[in-house]
Structure 1
Amino acid sequence: MSIELLINVTPSESRVALIENGVLQEIQLERIGNLGIVGNIYLGKISRVLPGMQAAFVDIGLEKAAFLHASDIVNSASIVEGVDDTPIKKVQDIRELVRQGQYIMVQVVKDPLGTKGARLTTDITIPSRYLVFMPDATHVGVSQRIETEEERGRLKKIVAEYSDENGSFIVRTAAEGASEAELRHDAAFLQKLWQKVVSRRKKTSKASILHEDLTLAFRTLRDYVGEDMERIRVDSKLTYQELKLFTEEFVPILSQVLEYYPGERPIFDLFDVENEIQKALHRKVTLKSGGYLIIDQTEAMTTVDVNTGAFVGHRNLEETIFNTNVEATSAIARQLRLRNLGGIIIIDFIDMVSEDHKRRVMHSLESALAKDRAKANINGLSALGLVEMTRKRTRESLEHILCDVCPACSGRGSQKTVETVCYELLREIVRVNRAYDADKFVVYAAPAVCEALLNDEYHNLAELELFIGKQVNIQVESLYSQEQFDVVMM
């Protein structure tokens, strides 16, 4: 598989596009005025304890208070006996763990999403190229993607030497084959960084930031270590030079594929990235066969509806449905990554009769999602033929970053018809006439509504004038939306 990264940097915004086999798979954005805070470590102040939710609101210096659940507090769980003496974990009461006014060191695991504040944990982790440092841990963990037992044992033995009462490490997938010197360098770097965090904590007596994660470009290179990267192109000379120094010190393997892109043609035009971003904002996604997906993102969940569309197949209906569903699985997996959709996701595949077809479609979906770096859990087909799944969400979706609620429809996705607005307007005239004494009325409305009142709905307007015994004048307001109108007394 050919993998390439395109890094586009401007004074106000940084964007990173992941290209696999010439096709855009992921897009990440970071704006100077709204930097992501996942991975940042703060000294926070408990502003409110909520026993009913087993959680607390924490002031970390942001506009919205952050959220800390009892289960996200280290050592909050105790082992108790369950049914048949089976040991189970029971989370302590939040009131036993924190108190209002208390200062506590926390790390952001989810950016503020919509109306919700950031999600926090006290289980601090600091990643580097090969290792993840865990200040509160005493054991060494090894990535499950390192499958060779001999290599796992070697890495665990080396890293264990650098673990002590101040913390331990998780060995990342990229550490497979790494030398002892490289692992020692990483461990020393992380321990030194942690000491800086501890030092800042001792000097601080108010809610403030103690450690800030890397910016998007640097974070991307750190996180993609271990991927078989063919090329990394950067269109900013200054950022390229900074990344060059960063890769030479921390990620030498990537310095060989990092290059500056000086071309006059915008870097995102190389693989039609800009057009793909625009398509990712549409509800409808067309499939090559002629079928299509409808993707709707709501506050509670994301729904994906699969349709055959213009695809009529070549053999029979059951085969047509199966082929459409299989093709949809790869398209769905790509759209989830591209749009950065997370949380609960419901997929409505076209109904299948054959159990073999159902099994093969589910296998195809699982295979497609296996390429996704975000963790996904699939619960299988429900009794209604729906696939219920979740995908880990840490940052806002592409739509929430690039778009705002439509002022005309307030996010409904539709607007009232001209006929509906006309009848609302006529009822409003009656209401105002009963409440106030006026000689006549002037109605200000959108052009389409005014045209309807003077033509198709003129007889209703004339009957209203006879009913209230007053004149109603119509005035066009070209800047009004279709649902907007004003009734003015004269």
Structure 2
Amino acid sequence: MQKKIIISEFYNLAAVIHKDKVEELLFTTKHYQVNSIYLGVVNKIFPSLNAAFVNIDNKYKSGFIHSSDLHFVKRSRDFNNTYSVAISDILTSGQKILVQITKEPALNKGPRLTTNLTFVGRYIVLLPFSKSICISKTVSDSNERNYLKALAVLLKPVTMGLLLKPSIVGVSEEVIINELKYLKAQWNFIQKLACISPAPKKLCGNDNLVYKAMRDFYVDQNTSILADSNYAAYCIRKYLNKWACSLATKNNVQIYNDCNSIFELNGITLAFKQAISNKVDLPLGAYIFIDKLEALTIIDVNSGGFNKPVTSHSAVLKINLEAAKEISYQLKLRNISGLIIIDFIDMQFQQDQLQLLKYFHKCLEQDVAAPQIVQLSELGLVELTRRRTKQSFSEVFSSSYSQPILQNFRDKTFVQILNTELKYFQFNCQHFDCYTLPSVSISNSSIISYQSKISSDLNNPIKHINPTVFSHYYSIQRDSKIIT
């Protein structure tokens, strides 16, 4: 089945479609992206927590760093007892420190930081503070693993380490060498920049949506790519050429003009509506209700209008199996992380419970966030955890405020949904630590056509944007000038 990558630079949105279903929705914000590198200043040290808060941006929350994430920052040369040393013996207040974001901030928490920097490419990951060689476990062929290990031994810098990604299989040595040179040059540049820059300062960002989408989700020549501007298509072809991808794919990059029809046709609008709603309907009449709280997420499974002529226990099992599949999909789509408690419909037989858990575990295997089922409690509640890396869908769109408004948008287009939420948050901006941007003068003709279409739909020109709530959906990096 062909895979699609749909990129909209204007809305700062990318979607990955596989088997006619949205697998991923990608967003980028202006600040605090995973893998972004900052030169920070130690703000406060908490010996009781063995952790510290680091100021990496004066406009936003400070980052949190634990002593176990302080690699190669110790004053002594003994690196064997890093986890047992008090943080007050490593850091001092006001000290400059080079850090990288490993987890994006939550609504009430800052980002999680580390000093063990990594530079991610399409085929390899450069580890400046390690000398190890790691090969992805998904590369199962022993001959291929031996070849990659021998290649890594020859290419690895003396003082650095390498991690080889699954996409490296079948790639020529020349392409790998070029990418390694690029990552080394990036690290050398950051070292020099850190020496001359005042703190706090952002040294390296990870907010290039086109690059992230192509690097992480492009697979092979069977992948079709759609972009909303000539510049985005140019960048895509440039990256594919850099990674020595097939000529067929580079010629298969299409440019679309009507985002509404493209989003509707590929199910992006439906996926977006589901992700901003607490209730998700299941095909057979049942539904699940997702309630995200600060400490945990609760998911309730209800039979609803399910009325199939089957016996009682088999009907309950069928509903639960259907719900398990949809829950695994919603967890990935919404980026729900932390502690998750699921209340499936009660099952009398232990055999049915084991069958449900086995099927649910199989559905979660494809999730890169590695969900772990903890247990099935005596009350019939399934407890699981999911690793947090980036912000959840509700945090990006702050659904605690938008939910009452957006529940009525079942029949609206994707553009209308986004802009109505924008207007709602501008009206309620006192709930957020935010500001508005001045007017934007845009030279790209395709973007002007988008702006005029949206303005005509809502009868309200787009002039003031809330970047805290709405990321930078309307930020045009190269084809626009901000009038101050």
TMscore range, shorter length: 0.7 to 0.9
Q: 1:116 corresponds to which residue?
A: 109
Deviation track 1:400-444 (CA, whole Å, cap 9, x = no partner) reads 2223544999xxxxxxxxxxxxxxxxxxxxxxxxxxxxxxxxxxx
Q: 2:6 corresponds to which residue?
A: 6
Deviation track 1:252-275 (CA, whole Å, cap 9, x = no partner) reads 245354322245754312223223
Q: 1:43 corresponds to which residue?
A: 39
Q: Answer yes or no: is the 8 Å Cα contact 2:39–2:194 preserved in 1.
A: yes
Percent sequence identity is 28
Q: Answer yes or no: is the 8 Å Cα contact 1:47–1:58 preserved in 2.
A: yes
Amino acid at match of 1:114: L
Deviation track 1:224-265 (CA, whole Å, cap 9, x = no partner) reads 144685311111122111221122113624535432224575
Task: Pick closer, same or farther for the CA change 1:346–1:126 going to 2, 3 Å.
Answer: same
Deviation track 1:276-333 (CA, whole Å, cap 9, x = no partner) reads 3122211111111111101001101111111222213433211111111111111101
Match among 22, 28, 31 for residue 30 of structure 1: 28
Task: Pick closer, same or farther for the CA change 1:407–1:132 going to 2, 3 Å.
Answer: closer
Aligned-partner Cα distance in 1 for 2:211–2:87 = 37
Kindly indicate whether residue 53 of structure 2 is the aligned counterpart of residue 57 of structure 1. yes
1:93 Cα deviation (Å)?
1.8
Q: 2:235 corresponds to which residue?
A: 242
Q: 1:100 corresponds to which residue?
A: 93
Task: Pick closer, same or farther for the CA change 1:322–1:264 going to 2, 3 Å.
Answer: closer
Match among 371, 386, 407 for residue 391 of structure 1: 386
**Normalization by structure 1: what TM-score?**
0.76
* Ranges in structure 1 where 5+ consecutive residues have no aligned partner: 81-88, 410-490
Q: 2:299 corresponds to which residue?
A: 304
Deviation track 1:75-122 (CA, whole Å, cap 9, x = no partner) reads 689768xxxxxxxx9542211221212111100112221021111011
Q: 1:145 corresponds to which residue?
A: 138
**Local SS of the residue matching 1:144:** coil
Amino acid at match of 1:294: F
Kindly indicate whether residue 190 of structure 2 is the aligned counterpart of residue 197 of structure 1. yes
Q: 2:290 corresponds to which residue?
A: 295
Kindly indicate whether residue 277 of structure 2 is the aligned counterpart of residue 279 of structure 1. no
Structure showing greater relative contact order (alpha-carbon pairs closer than 8 Å, 6 or more residues apart)? 2
CA RMSD of aligned residues (A): 2.4
Aligned-partner Cα distance in 1 for 2:155–2:185 = 12
Aligned-partner Cα distance in 1 for 2:315–2:397 = 36
Q: 2:334 corresponds to which residue?
A: 339
Kindly indicate whether residue 314 of structure 2 is the aligned counterpart of residue 319 of structure 1. yes
Q: Answer yes or no: is the 8 Å Cα contact 2:286–2:302 preserved in 1.
A: yes
Runs of 4+ in 1 over 6 A off after TM superposition: 76-80
1:24 Cα deviation (Å)?
1.9
Task: Pick closer, same or farther for the CA change 1:402–1:55 going to 2, 3 Å.
Answer: same
**Normalization by structure 2: what TM-score?**
0.77
Aligned-partner Cα distance in 2 for 1:394–1:266 = 32
Q: 1:433 corresponds to which residue?
A: none
**Local SS of the residue matching 2:223:** strand
Q: Answer yes or no: is the 8 Å Cα contact 1:49–1:55 preserved in 2.
A: yes
Aligned-partner Cα distance in 2 for 1:223–1:197 = 23
Amino acid at match of 2:63: A
1:157 Cα deviation (Å)?
1.0
Aligned-partner Cα distance in 2 for 1:408–1:28 = 21
1:195 Cα deviation (Å)?
0.9
Task: Pick closer, same or farther for the CA change 1:257–1:359 going to 2, 3 Å.
Answer: farther
* Ranges in structure 2 where 5+ consecutive residues have no aligned partner: 405-484
Aligned-partner Cα distance in 2 for 1:74–1:144 = 25
**Local SS of the residue matching 1:361:** helix
Aligned-partner Cα distance in 2 for 1:334–1:2 = 19
Q: 1:233 corresponds to which residue?
A: 226
Kindly indicate whether residue 19 of structure 2 is the aligned counterpart of residue 21 of structure 1. yes
Q: 2:129 corresponds to which residue?
A: 136
Amino acid at match of 1:51: P
Q: Answer yes or no: is the 8 Å Cα contact 1:68–1:120 preserved in 2.
A: yes
Amino acid at match of 1:150: N
Q: 1:71 corresponds to which residue?
A: 68
Q: Answer yes or no: is the 8 Å Cα contact 2:9–2:209 preserved in 1.
A: no
**Local SS of the residue matching 1:141:** strand
Aligned-partner Cα distance in 1 for 2:357–2:80 = 37
Q: Mean Cα displacement is larger for which, 168-177 or 384-393?
A: 384-393
Structure of higher CA gyration radius:
1
Aligned-partner Cα distance in 2 for 1:59–1:248 = 39
* 1:370-381 equivalence runs, <5 A: 370-381=365-376
More strand by share: 1
**Local SS of the residue matching 1:158:** helix
Match among 204, 208, 218 for residue 211 of structure 1: 204
Aligned-partner Cα distance in 2 for 1:79–1:249 = 40
Aligned-partner Cα distance in 2 for 1:250–1:408 = 42
Task: Pick closer, same or farther for the CA change 1:226–1:36 going to 2, 3 Å.
Answer: farther
1:370 Cα deviation (Å)?
1.9
Paired residues in the alignment total 397
Q: Answer yes or no: is the 8 Å Cα contact 1:8–1:268 preserved in 2.
A: no
Q: Answer yes or no: is the 8 Å Cα contact 2:33–2:390 preserved in 1.
A: no
Task: Pick closer, same or farther for the CA change 1:251–1:309 going to 2, 3 Å.
Answer: farther
Aligned-partner Cα distance in 2 for 1:225–1:27 = 14
Q: Answer yes or no: is the 8 Å Cα contact 1:3–1:228 preserved in 2.
A: no
Task: Pick closer, same or farther for the CA change 1:407–1:211 going to 2, 3 Å.
Answer: closer
Amino acid at match of 2:275: A
Q: Answer yes or no: is the 8 Å Cα contact 2:28–2:207 preserved in 1.
A: no
Aligned-partner Cα distance in 2 for 1:203–1:264 = 44
**Local SS of the residue matching 1:329:** helix
